[in-house]
Structure 1
Amino acid sequence: MHDDIIILVHGFNRGRRDMARLAAGLARQGWNTRSLRLPTLFGDMDACVGAMQTQLEEIEGRYRRVHFVAHSLGGLITLNYIRKTRPRNIGRCVFIATPHGGSRLAQIASRIPGYARVFRPVAELLPTAAYDNCHAASGLCVGVIAGYRNSGVLGRLFLSSHSDGRVEVASALAGGATDSILLPYGHQEIHQQQETCEQVQAFLSKGTFNHRD
């Protein structure tokens, strides 16, 4: 593990502190980790990928493999970073509650005049974005964790019960992952749960999740 590093990528309107509990859990198991800080509120996808590339330049060549663990929009940013830079030593990826099939809530928000122009990452969350079956096509070893606790007013009003209150399970699974698992958590807290951390470690170690019988 000490020859590898895990890059933690936060989601929309969050920062590196949002991944702190996950980072601490992974570090306790001996993993090297690095949490990024990306402009996910006002920056567009190119700005987010550029910031990611800049922050990862200093670790280039220092580790045997570089793994990625991302929450929500962070998964889409990671995919675009990998497509752009094509790193040779990429390991496994775990995307938590990432809307590969787009977000219905983002689609609703985009209809508010000026909203998408100000909060530019919203454009990447629309159902028209081309992330369906992207993992199967890219050859990446990707694990997807999706939540199914539909918490919050917006989720109950606009999404099906089979969602995490922000992202529907079908959207999270649309990427065509190597393996996937559903956990009983909402979007805002799923990446901060001990069970999630354990599943992340399982996938990074062996390429599959610990499925219950």
Structure 2
Amino acid sequence: MTKISVLVHGYNKNKKDMYTLGSNLEKLGHRCIIVDLPLTYKEIDYALSVFEKNIEEILNGLRENEKINLIGHSTGGLVIRKFLLNTKYIDRINSCVLIATPNNGSELADIVAKRFKLFTSTYKTLKSLRTEYVKKIGFIKNDKIKVGAIAGNKSRLLIGRFLSGDNDGRIKTSSVHHEGLSDIIILPYGHKEIHYKWDTAKLVDAFIEKGKFPHENLKAGY
């Protein structure tokens, strides 16, 4: 059976940023649909309304018994989390994978909001990434839907030096963790590259297939 996967890009990006992941997943038997969301100048709630319409159109084009997987990079993962909390299509969702998603908020967004308020007034998506906001987002409680996360811990970006502890240059590794996750795995990649890697695509596919990541295979050179 074909795996139908919807890919969601992150902050200040567009659908092109997910083309490589989509191509890699298609090599693994997925049919990928990549959406374009306003995740730069609008807050997440507005992007969510656009995403809901996209999902409705996608599902209307599928058979009633077909389910979809949701895969989001960074802020795209938060859009997916909010969507899962209040959607009439919950029975049409199979699995979800959040890649480098700040599930506990972005420390960088906190710094920008505090020191450069004019910046967040323009780039409003950043306001929705603040720790104070993200921690108010609930986590779906549905045994039928598995939600996994892939985090990076390789910081090659100068801005990553402003963060305490392991990070991917944008998001702290600890912020990707969340008690609601079914599983989480950490890769030695940075925030801007992690979703471009073949390893990541293979892990996404493995989670969708099994509901967990192959930790033992990764240690052996997966």
**TM band (smaller chain):** over 0.9
Equivalent residue number for residue 32 of structure 1: 31
Contact persistence 2:148–2:182 (CA under 8 A): yes
Alignment partner of 1:146 out of 130, 151, 160: 151
Paired letter, 2:170: R
1:22 and 2:21 matched: yes
Aligned to 1:117: 121
The count of aligned residue pairs is 211
Q: Which whole-Å CA distance do the structure 2 matches of 1:135 and 1:209 have between them? A: 20
Unaligned runs of at least 5 residues, structure 1: none
Aligned to 1:105, which of 103, 108, 121? 108
Task: Quote the residue 2:206 is aligned against.
Answer: 202
The one of 96, 99, 107 aligned to 2:99: 96
CA deviations on 1:26-45 (whole Å, 9 max, x unpaired) are 11122111000000001112
Match of 1:76 among 73, 78, 101: 78
TM-score (ref. length: structure 1): 0.92
The one-letter code matched in structure 2 to 1:25 is N
State whether structure 2 residue 166 is matched by structure 1 residue 162: yes
Partner AA of 2:84 in structure 1: I
CA–CA separation in structure 2 for the residues paired with 1:126 and 1:138: 26
Contact 1:149 1:165 in 2 (8 A): yes
Q: Which amino acid aligns with 2:52?
A: Q
Partner SS for 1:100: coil
Q: Which residue of 1 aligns with 2:50?
A: 51
The aligned counterpart of 1:129 is 133
Q: Which amino acid aligns with 1:36?
A: V
Compute the TM-score of the two structures, normalised by the length of structure 2: 0.88
CA distance in 2, matches of 1:50, 1:203: 27
Identity percentage of aligned residues: 33
Residue 159 of structure 1 deviates from its aligned partner by 1.0
Q: Which moved more, 1:191-200 or 1:61-70?
A: 61-70
Gaps of 5+ in 2: none
Runs of 4+ in 1 over 6 A off after TM superposition: none
**AA in 1 matched with 2:96:** C
Matched residue SS, 2:133: coil
2:140 touches 2:180 (CA, 8 Å); kept in 1?
yes
Which residue among 158, 171, 191 is the counterpart of 1:187?
Answer: 191
Question: Could you list the per-position Cα deviations for residues 106-138 of structure 1 after superposition, in whole angstroms to 9, with x for gaps in the alignment?
Answer: 011112132222111112211112448944645
Q: Work out the CA distance in 2 between the residues paired with 1:41 and 1:167.
A: 17
1:194 CA displacement = 0.5
CA drift of 1:46 comes to 2.2
